[in-house]
Amino acid sequence: MRSFGYQSSHDSIPLLISDIFLYKNQGNYGLAIEKANFLLELSDEKQGEFYAGLGHLSLAKIHNNLERHKQALEFITLAEEEFLNSNTPYELILAKLCKTQILISIGTPSVRNKIVSSLNECKKLIQQYKLKDLESNLYYTKGLWNKLNNRSKKAIRNFEKALPLNNKYEQDYISSKIYLELAIAYLDLHQIIKAKENAEKAQEYAEIFNFKEILLNTLKLESSIAEENGNFKSALDFSKKYQNKLSENYDSNQLIKNESIVDQSEIDYKNKLIASYNEQNRENNEKLSKSNLTSIFTSALLIIISLLTVSLYRNNKIKLKTNELLVKKNNELLRAKEKAEKAMKAKTQFLSTVSHELRTPLYAVTGLTHLLLQENPTENQKEHLKSLKFSGEYLLTFINDILQINKIEAKKLTIQNVPFYLEEIMSDVINSLNQTSKESNNTIELKIDNTIPAQLIGDPLKLSQIFINLLGNALKFTENGKIILLAETIKETDTHSTIHFEVVDNGIGISEEVQKNIFESFSQGSIQINRKYGGTGLGLNIVKSLLELLKSEINLSSKIGEGSNFYFDIEFEKAKDIEIRREHIGDEINTDEIINNLHLLLVEDNKINQVITKKMLLQKNISCDIADDGYIAIEKAKNNNYDAILMDIHMPGISGLKATKEIRKFNDEVPIIALTAISLDENTDDFYEAGCNDIVTKPFKPDEFYRKIAENILKNLRLN
């Protein structure tokens, strides 16, 4: 007899009974059945009928949960008889209530009269034995009956009377189910607030006690509640949580394992009974070998074995039905998972397409604004143009943030471990924000520990994005102040160095209430703060997600009126004797001097973009020829000498990448700079493989555009 770590004593059997109901309520039906069978074995030794009744009661509840109502009724009938014989009225009433609930689950017209009779019988027994504690269980069952008959208001009254619930075996589980049923009933009556309150209580119970099926039903219900209330973002969040929990709790491997446990548990139990009777048969044969009664006992035992064999066959048929149900649920899970994956893929493709289509007209807006600002507008016109420029840049930032969040959710971001100079990365970020800091009369100070290794191995692009978002956030909420970007070593080994980073400002500070959700998407604070300071509310969420990708976490300390301090730690590998080529050409030479009097080829199919780019080039005394498509570009490159080629990527006919490959077949010296609407954190390997020397993303800032041209011209001069 398998003991499962229990001893067949009065002290350990209550623990076994508790475990049976716990595993059932947590959805671990295989283990619950196995332990219930063990309890049935113990029932031969101690208080037989009572323990057998509890074993059959638990098996009835398990089979009812698995929608195997016929088997559930068979087990509960056995339990009723055993509790009656053992003179345990409390458990007898629980069994009759369970039988009523099974009939309600069946719900066909043929059983409705039986349900009413059973409810009346339970009420009389509770009064007869004066077991007031069980009245709450009766109200719960009445609530299920009224729910079946679409009487939501009556069901609510019944469920509310059932609380607080008294049940020595399943108090927390049934309480959780009552809150869930209340939430469903209130939602049917469109009482959203009460539905949400009860759903949250059900979820709290389910999370504390790991009631998996109740938690899944609660998350699905909360999504419906949010959708009914018009809160579609919250509905989507709950739907995602539901899909994640569904994948965690019912993956195919776990279902197969659960099937195996259920199957083997029942087969083992029957085999043990057969073995026990065989052993008894052998002993009886030895004792009665000299008696004429030998044949009688042998025949009797053979009959018993035959009956057990039939029983085993029957249980195998039941097992097959259980397997079919589990396979069905598994297929439903797989279909739900595929549907969720398709939805995520469609969303990713949609955002990628929309962002590309938005960047092209944004280039026209920002480019024309820049040109108009250079043509000596009046003061009134200048104010309008500055507002237009700010709006264009803000919209571009918003698009980039949305794309970044989408890539993080789709798990498309990967870590690039390459050698880099940390001090240069931090300095470049600060330099890129100089103009923004001047506009709000702020200063940015870099403090870097001289013990930090000069060269580290990590992902400099993602590190730059983290610094830019944190410094941008600090600049937004600070005026006439000081912002510090700090880096210091806190741990070092021969091969690795852990760096502590801080971004400290003396701005308006952040309240404790806002700090609780500040790293969530679209969470900036109050509406007043949003309107005053602007921003998408995505920057800090991006920082949090990028740091999680780098195996770190963001921390915050802040007080209203005193400023804020964002800090985190990252472990880097030390670079070993790697010399990184440094080229800060834009800082070392005069860009205007390098690009003056150049002659370029502009490859662009959009007429507006042609006009804007050509005017921007003419402002710096750069002449250009224009090619409307890739074929014309190839011919012009063959027949003319250009200092550089500006190549649009997405064009009719042949793409910019294909045109670049063709040009490289006869000219491998001329610098080719790709003009594209992708973001720089997307995969750019194809550009360099095709033969592009550099990439400028549209819409671009004019100074960055001129600097890129100068850098590539100077590189080409040095190489040739």
Question: Do strands 563-574 and 623-627 pair parallel, antiparallel, or not at all (unpaired)?
Answer: unpaired
Question: Torsion angle of alpha carbons 160, 165, 169, 174, nearest 10°?
Answer: 20
The full set of domain ranges for the chain reads 188-249, 418-574, 588-719
Residue whose C-alpha is closest to residue 318's, from 18, 699, 62, 527: 62
C-alpha to C-alpha distance for 479 and 508, rounded to whole angstroms: 9
| DSSP type of residue 590 | -
Q: Enter the tokens of residue 496.
A: 């690795």
Q: Is residue 8 predicted with pLDDT exceeding 60?
A: no
**Higher pLDDT, residue 406 or 213:** 213
∠ CA 196-197-198, rounded to 5°: 95
| Residues paired with 672 in a beta bridge | 645
∠ CA 171-172-173, rounded to 5°: 95
C-alpha to C-alpha distance for 339 and 347, rounded to whole angstroms: 12
| Residues paired with 231 in a beta bridge | none
Report the share of the chain in percent with pLDDT over 70.
Answer: 79
pLDDT level of residue 531 (50, 70, 90 thresholds): very low
Q: What is the pLDDT of residue 264?
A: 56
Chain mean pLDDT for the chain: 84
Residue whose C-alpha is closest to residue 454's, from 499, 503, 504: 499
Q: Is residue 528 predicted with pLDDT exceeding 60?
A: no
∠ CA 211-214-215, rounded to 5°: 80
Strands (E), 161-288: none
How many of the other CB atoms lie within 10 Å of CB of 488? 14
Q: Is residue 452 predicted with pLDDT exceeding 50?
A: yes
Q: What is the pLDDT of residue 511?
A: 86
| Residues paired with 455 in a beta bridge | 421
Residues 6+ apart with CB under 8 A from 76: 56, 57, 60, 95, 98, 99, 102
Contact 182, 159 (CB under 8 A): yes
How many of the other CB atoms lie within 10 Å of CB of 677? 19
Per-residue pLDDT of 113-159, as tens digits, reads 999 999 999 999 999 999 999 999 999 999 999 999 999 999 999 99
Q: Is residue 286 predicted with pLDDT exceeding 80?
A: no
Q: What is the pLDDT of residue 522?
A: 55
Residue whose C-alpha is closest to residue 171's, from 128, 216, 225, 209: 209
In this structure, which amino acid lies at residue 284?
N
C-alpha to C-alpha distance for 467 and 568, rounded to whole angstroms: 11
Q: What is the pLDDT of residue 354?
A: 64
Q: What is the pLDDT of residue 271?
A: 61
Q: Which of 482-486, 534-538, 684-688: highest mean pLDDT?
A: 482-486
Q: Is residue 352 predicted with pLDDT exceeding 90?
A: no
Per-residue pLDDT of 219-234, as tens digits, reads 999 999 999 988 988 8
C-alpha to C-alpha distance for 39 and 23, rounded to whole angstroms: 14
pLDDT level of residue 246 (50, 70, 90 thresholds): confident
Please give the class, per CATH, of domain 418-574: alpha beta
458: enclosing H helix or E strand: strand 455-458
**Higher pLDDT, residue 635 or 516:** 635
Q: What is the pLDDT of residue 533?
A: 47
Average pLDDT rounded to a whole number, residues 681-707: 84
CA 96 to chain centre: 43
How many of the other CB atoms lie within 10 Å of CB of 124? 10
Question: Do strands 482-492 and 672-676 pair parallel, antiparallel, or not at all (unpaired)?
Answer: unpaired
User: What end-to-end distance do the CA atoms of the chain give, in Å?
Assistant: 87
pLDDT level of residue 283 (50, 70, 90 thresholds): low
CATH code of the domain occupying 588-719: 3.40.50.2300
Q: What is the pLDDT of residue 12?
A: 82
How many of the other CB atoms lie within 10 Å of CB of 68? 18
Q: Is residue 540 predicted with pLDDT exceeding 50?
A: yes
C-alpha to C-alpha distance for 266 and 40, rounded to whole angstroms: 12
**Higher pLDDT, residue 354 or 197:** 197
Peptide bond preceding 14 in cis form (omega within 30 of 0): no
334-343, 506-515, 540-549, 561-570: which range is least confident on average? 334-343
Average pLDDT rounded to a whole number, residues 469-476: 90
C-alpha to C-alpha distance for 145 and 528, rounded to whole angstroms: 51
Residues 6+ apart with CB under 8 A from 86: 47, 49, 50, 53
Q: What is the pLDDT of residue 330?
A: 75
Q: Is residue 351 predicted with pLDDT exceeding 70?
A: no
In this structure, which amino acid lies at residue 464?
S
Contact 423, 447 (CB under 8 A): no
∠ CA 572-577-579, rounded to 5°: 95
Q: What is the pLDDT of residue 382?
A: 73
Per-residue pLDDT of 576-626, as tens digits, reads 755 544 444 444 567 888 999 999 999 999 898 899 999 999 999 999 999
pLDDT level of residue 414 (50, 70, 90 thresholds): confident
